[in-house]
Structure 1
């Protein structure tokens, strides 16, 4: 009810609510999914998320160095819409990919003017300072961008062909006997769910 109130209280009766408004206006404790579901049942929801992500792509790629902007924009649009060989990717995927690639492109732009000028040494060195998921995402983003560029004839050779991602090790440390004994015995913990020590999930 709090979420519905937030998006409907100042609205003319019968005027639809945009999905982007649901995501940005409702209180943090409310469920945007449930609010959108109820509005759909009432035929009051307008899904403008596709328009919003396209505007985001245009705005963000326009901030890139001129030699890279058009190619990156075209790549993101293919990820968004899919093509004959690939299914559309989620909006979250686009945000992650662009967030990984942007600082690398801005760094390369100081000495390079186009994707075709990026070398194997460049893409190999770029993720070197990164670790874990940051490194894995950066490599995946670079591979996606240069595969697209090669397929569209924007570059002569794909410099990421030999760039490999490593498996992320998920090492869970066992609890000590003290931690096990202390967890259920604490008088301040009322529910079984809260008896789990922080960091075990």
Structure 2
């Protein structure tokens, strides 16, 4: 009988039973989902005869049914799908994003004909209700030149609200001035949007008060401006006068007023708070509050560097007390 010389050791509970699952292929790998074939190369459709519409009608893509309305042979759809495939490959879109964009393009372009445009307000409800990517789809539609952005910018909505209640004659000048600040002009650079907001918010109460008495900025006098400024103080007065100067200066350059009522009104210097010396009890309390040597050093340095030229004696006494 042959003597056993070696033993093979195993760790327990390492051999797991095979889990049930889908059948494996020839190479021992699990079968993957079938890969969608790449769209065939396509180009911009050749424009043919264009029948102008009798009237503009908004389309409702929320009623789209793929089985009834899908037209996969539409040349515009083919060109859009080919464009989306190239853009997705270039930017590394995940698989689910490519599939979502493909479904969205089928919804939007199955019935598309030459000369039509796709508006944001038409496709947003249909794509959002289906959970499809609106941003990526708009990018493709814009690349092929069929997208029209009919969204109202937030600045336009805000400006409409701020001009509400202002007299029509004053409103025209204020709107022209605000748009010039926001968009810029031939001789002026556009301002930051927050600056335009702050400017109009600052003088809106003044404009509403003037609208109850005047119909146009040319009727506003120097006394009207001074009356409004007398109710303000400090930085508020200074800021309001600067904004009114900008408004009336633009109105005079445009020729809508004859005289600038804010001219020769001094803005004034910015008022700063007056530094008050510390009382002796405040100094003693600060010295008594510090117990560690490092804290006393910081207090002594602060006293030396913060003291004025005429406070040398008190500074020396404070430093000596803190150092002790």
Tell me the equivalent position of 1:92.
Answer: 194
More divergent stretch after superposition (131-140 vs 172-181): 172-181
Higher Rg: 2
Structure 2 counterpart of 1:26: none
Match of 2:259 in 1: 157
Q: What secondary structure does 1:162 align onto?
A: coil
Q: CA deviation at 1:172?
A: 6.0
**Please, what TM-score do these two structures have when normalized by structure 2?**
0.40
2:213 alignment counterpart: 111
Shift of 1:56: 0.8
Contact 1:146–1:160 under 8 Å retained in 2: yes
Query: Quick one: structure 1 residues 172 and 153, their matched pair in 2 at CA, closer, same or farther if it must change by over 3 Å?
Result: same
Q: 2:249 aligns with which of 120, 141, 147?
A: 147
Q: Distance in 1 between matches of 2:187 and 2:289?
A: 51
SS in structure 1 at match of 2:223: helix
> Cα–Cα, structure 1 residues 117 and 13, in superposed 2: closer, same or farther, change >3 Å?
same
Cα distance in 2, alignment partners of residues 170 and 85 from structure 1: 35
| CA shift digits 1:91-128 (9 cap, x unpaired) | 22222211222111221222211101111111122111
* Equivalent residues in 2 for 1:1-201, closer than 5 Å: 12=131, 14-16=133-135, 51-171=153-273, 173=275, 176-177=282-283, 180-181=286-287
Cα distance in 2 for partners of 1:168, 1:66 equals: 35
Counterparts in 2 of 1:142 and 1:183: CA distance versus 1, 3 Å: farther
Q: Give 1:162 deviation, angstroms.
A: 1.1
Question: Which ranges of structure 2 fall in alignment gaps of 5 or more residues?
Answer: 1-129, 136-151, 292-324
Cα RMSD after superposing both structures = 3.0
Conservation of the 8 A alpha-carbon contact between 1:146 and 1:159: yes
Shift of 1:181: 4.6
Q: Partners in 2 of 1:143 and 1:162 — Cα distance? A: 10
Q: Tell me the distance in 1 between the aligned counterparts of 2:246 and 2:216.
A: 16
Aligned length: 144
d(CA) in 1 for partners of 2:170, 2:288: 56
Query: TM-score if structure 1 supplies the norm length?
Result: 0.61
Q: Which runs of 5+ in 1 are unaligned?
A: 1-10, 17-49, 186-201
Structure with the bigger RCO (C-alpha within 8 Å, sep 6+) is 1
Inter-CA distance 116–183: structure 2 relative to 1 (3 Å threshold): farther
The alpha-carbon distance between structure 1 residues 139 and 182, as it changes in their structure 2 partners (threshold 3 A), is farther
